[in-house]
């Protein structure tokens, strides 16, 4: 299925989406439910290219679901998501939207990198092989070229000496830095982090946050879910506070952290600090 099935309820809104904003990621009136549980409720976001957005909020707020929508792992029930000006999950023909075929969704998913809490490296592949796998398989890049790029990425995450190590031979912090290098290898338009340090022993958190901070400075568009509020304050251009499926406030880090306008934000920050 897919590819030819019109999403018939949506043609008029397609025209609004077509207006475009030049933003790296937009969410326009996005709603998502699982069964009768509303997990995202009319979420409106616009993330500028090259910006760093930090998503905060209590467990169950819908943060991971929001990332999964940007990464084509979930489909919105209402509204639209765009990445790099392209609609997630649909192609447009005039005013009509068509659901994309799974093969096309897979291709577009390569535009969005994702780093998870649990590093998710392939255990039977070395660090280098983990990094070159997707560029070769998804982008068809020749091995020599993929290896050269991987060497640069390993250097960038400070692990040039671990190219031939297997994940089990690496610390959690090192595995997560390899996972970041692997995500970067596809040169994504946007890189998403879902609590990238939550599974790490405390002494390993800093090395991973440093790599992400370095990326933030390099102008990569990042969306980061984290409870590391000091880090968030340092790297974020934009902080989005979510609760119960809603964006309850958003703004620059100083505004959100020092002068929250919502009691729920103040309560959450007090608990998390």
Q: Which does 65 bind (CB under 5 to 8 A by kind): ligand ADP, Mg ion, none?
A: ligand ADP
Q: Which is nearer to ligand ADP, 39 or 192 (CB)?
A: 39
Under rule CB under 5 A, residue 65 binds Mg ion: no
Q: Which does 25 bind (CB under 5 to 8 A by kind): Mg ion, ligand ADP, none?
A: none
Q: Which does 128 bind (CB under 5 to 8 A by kind): Mg ion, ligand ADP, none?
A: none
Nearest approach, Cβ of 167 to ligand ADP (angstroms)? 25
Q: Which is nearer to Mg ion, 39 or 236 (CB)?
A: 39
Q: Which is nearer to Mg ion, 115 or 141 (CB)?
A: 115
Q: In a 10 Å sphere around its CB, with 0-12 CB exposed, 13-18 middle and 19+ buried, how is residue 254 labelled?
A: exposed
* Local structure of 17: helix, strand or coil: helix
Nearest approach, Cβ of 246 to ligand ADP (angstroms)? 12
Point out which span in 26-34, 36-44, 63-71, 131-139 binds Mg ion (CB under 5 A): 63-71
C-beta atoms surrounding 207 within 10 Å:
19
Point out which span in 60-68, 78-86, 158-166, 249-257 binds Mg ion (CB under 5 A): 60-68
Nearest approach, Cβ of 208 to ligand ADP (angstroms)? 19
Residues at the contact surface with ligand ADP, assessed by CB under 6 A: 34, 39, 57, 59-65
Among 51, 39, 208, residue whose Cα is nearest residue 117: 208
Q: Which does 61 bind (CB under 5 to 8 A by kind): ligand ADP, Mg ion, none?
A: ligand ADP
For 129-166, give one letter per residue: b (16+ CB within 10 A) or e: bbbbbbbbeeeebeeeebbebbeebbebbebeebbebb
* Dist CA 103 CA 80 (whole Å): 20
Read off φ and ψ for residue 225, nearest 5 degrees: -95, 120
Token readout for 213 is: 């901070």
User: For strand 52-56 and strand 238-243, is the pairing parallel, antiparallel, or unpaired?
Assistant: parallel
Among 26, 64, 126, 197, the residue binding Mg ion under the rule CB under 5 A is 64
Nearest approach, Cβ of 71 to ligand ADP (angstroms)? 13
Contact 77, 249 (CB under 8 A): no
Q: Which does 60 bind (CB under 5 to 8 A by kind): Mg ion, ligand ADP, none?
A: ligand ADP
Among 49, 83, 48, residue whose Cα is nearest residue 67: 83
């Amino acid at each position: 299925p897919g590819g030819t099935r019109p999403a018939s309820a949506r043609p008029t809104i397609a025209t609004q989406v077509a207006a475009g904003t030049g933003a790296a990621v937009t969410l326009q009136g996005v709603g998502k439910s699982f069964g009768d549980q509303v997990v995202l409720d009319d979420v409106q976001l616009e993330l500028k290219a090259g910006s760093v957005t930090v998503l905060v909020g209590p467990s169950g707020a819908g943060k991971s679901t929001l990332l999964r929508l940007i990464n084509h792992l979930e489909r919105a029930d209402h509204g639209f998501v765009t990445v790099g000006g392209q609609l997630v999950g649909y192609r447009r023909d005039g005013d009509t939207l068509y659901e994309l075929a799974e093969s096309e969704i897979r291709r577009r998913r390569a535009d969005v990198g994702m780093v998870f809490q649990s590093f998710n490296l392939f255990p039977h592949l070395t660090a280098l092989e983990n990094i070159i796998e997707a560029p070769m398989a998804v982008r068809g890049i020749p091995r020599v070229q993929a290896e050269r790029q991987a060497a640069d990425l390993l250097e960038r995450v400070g692990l040039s000496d671990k190219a031939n190590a297997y994940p089990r031979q690496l610390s959690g912090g090192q595995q997560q830095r390899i996972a970041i290098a692997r995500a970067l290898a596809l040169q994504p338009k946007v890189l998403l982090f879902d609590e990238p340090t939550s599974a790490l022993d405390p002494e390993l958190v800093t090395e991973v946050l440093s790599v992400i901070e370095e990326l933030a400075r390099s102008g990569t568009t990042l969306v980061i879910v984290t409870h590391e509020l000091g880090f968030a304050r340092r790297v974020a251009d934009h902080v989005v506070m979510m609760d119960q499926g809603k964006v309850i406030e958003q703004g620059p880090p100083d505004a959100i952290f020092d002068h929250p306008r919502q009691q729920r934000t103040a309560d959450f920050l007090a608990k998390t600090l």
